[in-house]
């Protein structure tokens, strides 16, 4: 395979498009802001379908599990959410963001 085809296959936005064409309900989580030591840069994406399958990355570790859980709620409700994880937030410690940074992740349903 050519590298551009491989890049497209790995691209979470291309994955989301394929899932939607296949009839799946899909949400996308996007890193919209970071402070300090953040594991993924602004613009990073994680796509999630209604069954909890996901592709891409917004942070890693348990933070992504929390984002997937919130994304399933967004898929069900249709209401977008802004999530924030950081060391000053007790929840962030619970989900494993102990790198000293903070991230904001916007989660919305597609389609």
pLDDT digits (tens, 9 = 90+) for 33-90: 998 877 889 999 999 999 999 999 998 777 889 999 999 999 999 999 999 987 555 5
The model's pTM is 0.82
Q: From edge to edge, which strands make up the β-sheet containing 102-110?
A: 54-56, 45-49, 26-35, 102-110, 81-86
Q: Please determine, for residue 6, whether its predicted confidence score (pLDDT) is greater than 70.
A: no
Express each pLDDT in 86-109 by its tens digit.
755 555 445 555 556 789 999 999
Q: Please tell me the predicted confidence (pLDDT) of residue 90.
A: 53
Structural domain span for residue 13: 3-110
| CA dihedral (77, 97, 37, 85) positive or negative | positive
Q: How many domains does the chain have?
A: 1
């Amino acid at each position: 395979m050519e590298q551009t085809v491989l890049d497209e296959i790995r691209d979470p936005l291309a994955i989301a498009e394929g899932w939607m064409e296949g009839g799946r309900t899909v949400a996308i989580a996007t890193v919209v802001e970071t402070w300090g030591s953040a594991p993924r840069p602004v613009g990073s994406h994680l796509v999630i379908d209604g069954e909890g399958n996901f592709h891409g990355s917004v942070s890693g570790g348990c933070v992504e599990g929390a984002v997937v859980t919130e994304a399933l709620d967004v898929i069900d409700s249709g209401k977008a959410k802004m999530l924030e994880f950081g060391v000053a937030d007790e929840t962030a410690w619970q989900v494993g963001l102990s790198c000293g940074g903070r991230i904001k992740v916007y989660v919305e349903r597609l389609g």
